[in-house]
Amino acid sequence: MPSPRRLFRLLPSVLVLLATVALLLVGCGGDGEEAADASGGATTGGGSESAEPVTLSVGLFGTFGYEEAGLYDEYMELNPHVTIEETSIEFEQDYYQALQTHLAGGAGLSDIQGIEVARIAEVTQTQADKWVDLNEFGAEDLADTFFPWKWEAGRTADGATLGLGTDTGPQAICYRTDLFEQAGLPTDRDELSALWEDWDDFIESGKQYMANAPANSAFIDSASGLYNAIIGQSEMQYYDEEGEPIYDSNPVVKDAYDIAVEAIQANLTAKLEQFDQAWNQAFANGAFATIACPAWMIGYIKGQAGDAGAGKWDVASIPGDGGNWGGSYLAIPAASENHEEAYKLIQWLTAPEQQIKMWTNGQHFPSSSVAAADGSVAAATDDYFSGAPIGEIFKESADDLPIAHLGPKDGVVKDTISQALNRVDQQGEDPQASWDQAMEEIANAIE
Amino acid sequence: MRLKAQMAATDQAGSLVAEAPGPRPRSAWRTRLTKLDSKASPYLYISPFFLLFAGFGLFPLAYTAWISLHSVSLQNVDDRTWVGLDNYSRLIHDDQFWNAVLNTLTIGLISTVPQLLIALGLAHLLHCKLRGSTFFRVSMLMPYATSVAAATIVFAMLFGRDFGLINWFLGLFGVDNIDWENGKWSSQIAISTIVTWRWTGYNALIYLAAMQAIPKDLYEAAEVDGASRWQQLRHVTIPGIKPTIVFTVIISTIGATQLFGEPLLFGGAGGYRGGADHQYQTLGLLLYEQGWFNFQLGRAAATAWTMFLIIMLAVAVNALLAARGRSVFAVGRRRRPV
Amino acid sequence: MSAVSQRRRGLRRWGVGEQRGGPWTYAVLVLTTIVAIFPLYWTLVAASRTNSEIVQSPPPFTPGGNLFTNIGEALDQVDMFKALLNSLIVSGSIALGTVLFCTLAGFAFAKLRFRGSTVLLIIILATMMVPAQLGVVPLFILIADLGWVNQLQAVIFPTLVSAFGVVFMRQYLLKALPTEIIEAAVVDGASSFRIFRSIVLPAARPAMAVLGMLTFLMAWNDFFWPIIALSSQNPTVQVALNSLGQGYVPDRSIILAGTLVGTVPVLIVFALLGKQIVGGIMEGAVKG
């Protein structure tokens, strides 16, 4: 008869056995469900409020800002049977990978997923079957409330609508008035806007700045930021209307690259990589005087530079024609169990009234033309940025937005060329060699 | 191969176990039960592991091998085009691949050799009677317990170009700011530092556990012969834990060849590239970039299996070297256990 | 024990191999400890400061007063308690399961003779060499088919397959388990289960303790696979930390405050069980 001590020795093994059995039972019994009772496929037209409680999961990246603006709370008040849970991942690349992996397995998806503009073409062109066609719920009626180019990018070739636009990124230049003053440059925004007709003028200003620059300060944060701003201004970027990659033959791309290289060679950049930790720190340390500023960068600057930076920044028009950088869509994966409720939520979130709120709350510039035309948007100013009329500045930029032709691998091309510029900027590589390497890498990656 | 010889010796000893005759006659039933027990029980012993392995290890491996012969993207996993060995030949001709191989080799060397040497030294120190030995032993595991995210944030700040602590410290001696991330050697040294920091304590404890198993008499005999502590280390301790050293060398080699987390997080947002010029991109990162950024699963799978071949080679070479004692631990006569 | 060694014992309080450490030993060990603990300490510093304080240059080295605010904020943003509980369940199960299965298999490979043992061992060694990352996609598809997405099983079962554990236990048992003892037990008519329970387990205890602890830590800090298989509805600590501190600016002080909370259980385990685990190792020394 085994003694108690012996039995005690047996304990761990027994525990494990029990645990394993328990887990197996739970595993085989349950199924991976996280939403509460869901009214699955009720497609009765809008209006009928389902009284069954529903939990909607929202998967986003970066800073959509809905939580901060209190929109979820507002919606939940209006619709008491709905509970909203948001998950946000910092880097869009990490987010997108997880999204694709989950799509591959058909599980682990949220009811609503955000999609960045650099990825939307890939989704509409290659994955239409995995996403809900929002036209089923009457999305076509919303077409007029959005900027045409924004609306078009969210549709497939067959006319299905996969995503509703959230915000856009019309561009401007944000600059440090105190640093400009120290370097002897004009600080008035209208003066600068007039001065910077095109990018050559901008570079000239840069050289003037560097001639008298305050210590440890460069004119612009990074070469790749400059490059992205220029690319965002043209209609033909990396793909043409037929969807063929033209990144290597499109003169616009090479020209933008060359301008950025010029900035590097004139020593205008702070040699930073955007969204890096060092770049984050640089805001607070005055390492650069200007930065290409899509509307969403405003909130970023405030957050990074903190209270110490209030009143030291200002906003001027961007050289060249407007341009867009960034912006996203909200879409519903087919695997979601709450198509109708999810649609109602995204329709509400992207409706003009809410887009106006997102602007006043966090400077997310509307993708809705109706919202953009609203007085409160156009009249917005910002004290942090020395009272700049940001509403006006960004609206002007948005009106100039071209209908850019997007392609599935825009993100890859953009990242590779940005890295090519980093090589020139931070590692001193020869610009032509770096360009050639980038072309090779892109060809390798997308074919 | 030494490993095989070792296993053969074990098998021989095992056979003794399985067939030792009883001194008393037993009933036939009992004998049969015993025979069945000894014949079947090994399989029972290994079956939990292999069952799990068959389910969760084998399927992904087989799938990966199959995928590597196709062109397939993550967006549409079911949409596959057969390309045979094309993915592999593309890989061989890809400069980025050879760059990654070289980087993996250099980072592997810089991170494992000093690490294991330091671990050995630390284990030897810990092997003494110390005040607060528990504290020291536990604190050595702290790096292993620190989450990767926290460690990376800290090290990224240490190695920052403009505001990093290390550059500040070097600046005290008049050294210019080193751009750690952008240089080839500087980035690899930085990454090796992170790896060494994380794994040295772990290996030290493994060595320590093995050292505890060395019979005291050996040390006593060495004392009697007048050996100093350093000589004891070389002639008693190290030969005594030779199998463990081989073991850690193999494990470290495998780990170094698959190095992924540290360089990825070191590079921040663009870390998967291993730097703007892929200066610290290891094979693991290349694999990750292909599969998760370019979404080309087929080619990533081909990279994974090529890595497998390389690792096998590296392990074989390393095991041979370590077992033959051609490494730093070349020792003299081996004392026979009493 | 010979007369010589007895005399030796008289001369020194401890035997050879257990000499007292000298001042240099302590110096080196203290330095090592500082290096080992520094990032964790700095996490505490950062967690007790505000984000703008952290990004300054040079960064602060002493803790500030913001710790509880940050922790409160972190707990607000993610359900940390659930994450901690989940991590405990997951890491605990993985540690227990791995130790048990690997001891079983390690013993078999080390001391038992059976057909195909060499081949199987080589297979195990080989699996260690296949990079884990790529397996994520098929593994996820498998987990999805089993309906385990967002369940803890998705994280527990695949991680139980530890080739390293098998090799480690085999290595240890080869050395620490004398074949003669097993032979003697067989001669006495013990069944193999009896042998395992009464002979193998006690002998393997030190290694089991080490393996268990290492496995627990590894499972606790694992993030690559859990982030795919789990979501914020049912997270482990690392998954929860991943969605922490979001906003217009990733608030590092909150992220690190959350990280600190996530590391506290590990520290508690160390504080409580550290002696036991180390004692386990020491016990092996006495036996040896």
Q: Is the pLDDT of residue A241 over 90?
A: no
Name the class of domain C78-243: mainly alpha
Higher pLDDT, B117 or B262: B117
> How many angstroms away from the CA of C82 is the closest CA of chain B?
18
What span, in angstroms and rounded, lies between the C-alpha atoms of B331 and A100?
A: 54
B268 → closest Cβ in A277, A281, A429: A277
CB C205 within 8 A of CB A61: no
CB contact under 8 A, C28 and B125: yes
The mean of the pLDDT values for chain C is: 78
Rounded Cα distance between C95 and C118, Å, is 26
pLDDT, one tens digit per residue, over C152-172 is 888 898 888 888 888 888 878
Closest to B229 measured CA to CA, from B128, B118, B330: B128
> Which range is most confident: A99-103, B260-264, C74-78, C264-268?
A99-103
Distance from CA of A382 to the nearest CA of B (A): 30
Q: Are A53 and A81 in contact (CB under 8 A)?
A: yes
SS3 C253: helix
Cross-chain residue pair C231–A87, CB shorter than 8 Å: yes
Mean pLDDT of A210-230: 90
Cβ pair A13:C232 closer than 8 A: no
Dig out the tokens for A96 from the structure: 């997108």
Question: If you average pLDDT over residues A112-139, what whole number do you get?
Answer: 91
Question: Is A25 part of the contact surface with chain C (CB cutoff 8 Å)?
Answer: no
- pLDDT over 90, % of chain C: 7
- Residue with the two structure tokens 């001709």: B93
Q: Which residue has the higher pLDDT, B306 or C248?
A: B306
Residue C148's pLDDT is 85
In Å, the largest CA–CA distance within chain B is: 86
> What is the pLDDT, as a whole number, of residue A112?
94
For the beta carbon of residue C122, count every other beta carbon within 10 angstroms: 13
Which of C8, C16, C93, C246 to substitute to test the interface with B, most B CBs within 10 Å?
C16
Q: Residue C214 region, left (φ>0) first, then alpha (ψ -120 to 50), else beta?
A: alpha
In this predicted structure, what is the pLDDT of residue A9?
A: 43
- Distance, in Å, from the CA atom of C43 to the CA atom of B155, rounded to the nearest integer, reads 11
Instruction: Compute the average pLDDT of residues C62-88.
Output: 86
Same CATH fold assignment for domains A54-168+327-372 and A169-326+381-446: yes
Least reliable range by pLDDT among A78-87, A110-119, C114-123: C114-123
Domain range B98-261+309-324, CATH architecture: Orthogonal Bundle (1.10)
Q: Where are the domains of chain A?
A: 54-168+327-372, 169-326+381-446
| Measured distance CA(B292)–CA(B300) in Å, rounded | 9
**Which residue is it, tokens 């040079």?**
C58
Residues of chain A in contact with residue B269, where contact means CB-CB under 8 angstroms, are 91, 93, 273-276
Residue pLDDT, tens place only, C19-43:
666 788 888 889 989 988 888 888 8
Cβ of residue A44 closer than 8 Å to a chain B Cβ:
no
pLDDT for position B116: 92
The answer to whether the CB atoms of A304 and C249 lie below 8 A apart is yes
Test the A interface: residue of C98, C142, C149 with most A CBs within 10 Å: C149
Reported CATH class of domain A54-168+327-372? alpha beta
Q: How far C49 CA sits from the closest chain A CA (Å)?
A: 14
Count CB pairs under 8 A between chains A and C.
116
Of A16, A26, A104, the CB nearest to C137: A104
pLDDT at B3 over 50: no
Mean model confidence pLDDT for chain B:
78
pLDDT at A76 over 90: yes
Helix B297-324 × helix B2-19 angle, to 10°: 80
Which 207-226 residues of chain C touch chain A by CB within 8 A? none
pLDDT digits (tens, 9 = 90+) for C203-260: 888 788 878 888 888 888 888 888 888 877 788 888 888 777 666 566 778 888 888 8
Mutate to test the interface with C, among B15, B17, B140, B286 (most CBs of C within 10 A): B17
Q: Does B48 sit within 8 Å of C105, measured CB to CB? A: yes
pTM of the predicted protein model: 0.79
Nearest of A67, A69, A61 to residue A359 by alpha carbon: A69
Q: Per-residue pLDDT tens for A13-69?
A: 444 455 455 444 444 433 333 333 333 333 333 344 556 899 999 999 887 888 888
Among chain C residues, CA nearest to B255: C129
Q: How far apart are the first and last CA of chain A?
A: 71
Q: What is the CA radius of gyration of chain C?
A: 24
CA distances from B150 to A186, A275, A355, C39 (A): 43, 18, 36, 7
Mean pLDDT of B117-125: 89
CA angle A310, C248, A312 (to 5 degrees): 15
pLDDT tens-digit readout, B207-253:
887 887 777 788 888 888 887 777 877 888 888 888 788 878 888 88
Among A89-93, B9-13, C174-178, which is the least confidently predicted range? B9-13
Residue B203 has pLDDT above 80, yes or no: yes
**CB-based contact C175 B213, cutoff 8 Å:** yes
Q: Is the pLDDT confidence value at A331 over 60?
A: yes
Output A254 or A16, whichever has higher pLDDT: A254
Chain B hits for C16, CB-CB cut-off 8 Å, are 216, 219-220, 222-223, 232
Chain C hits for A89, Cβ within 8 Å: 242-243, 246
Determine the Cα–Cα distance for residues A435 and C177; give it in Å rounded to an integer: 62
Give the closest of A285, A427, A445 to B277, CB-based.
A427
Q: Say how many CB pairs under 8 Å bridge A and B.
A: 72
Nearest CA distance, C161 vs chain B (angstrom): 6
Closest by Cα among A31, A75, A69 to A56: A75
Confidence of residue B107 (pLDDT cuts 50, 70, 90): very high
Whether the CB-CB separation of B280 and C154 falls below 8 Å is answered with: no
Tracing tokens 């002897």 back to the chain, one arrives at A184
As a whole number of angstroms, the distance between CA A288 and CA A175 comes to 9
- Chain A partners of C97 at a C-beta cutoff of 8 Å? 16, 19-20
Contact at 8 Å (CB) between B272 and B289? yes
Mean pLDDT of B110-129: 88
pLDDT more than 90, % of chain B: 9
Q: Which CATH class is domain A169-326+381-446?
A: alpha beta
C226: preceding bond cis by omega (within 30 degrees): no
Percent residues over pLDDT 70 in chain A: 89
User: Measured between CB atoms, does C231 come within 8 Å of chain A?
Assistant: yes
Closest CB to A275 among B75, B183, B269? B269
Q: What CA–CA distance (Å, rounded) separates A323 from A404?
A: 10
Q: pLDDT-derived band of residue C95, with 50, 70 and 90 as boundaries?
A: very high
Of A420, A422, A172, A412, nearest to A272 by C-alpha is: A422
Q: Contact C174/B133, CB-based, under 8 Å?
A: no
With tokens 């010979």, the residue in question is C2
C280 band by pLDDT with thresholds 50, 70 and 90:
low
Highest mean pLDDT among A219-233, A352-366, B241-255: A219-233
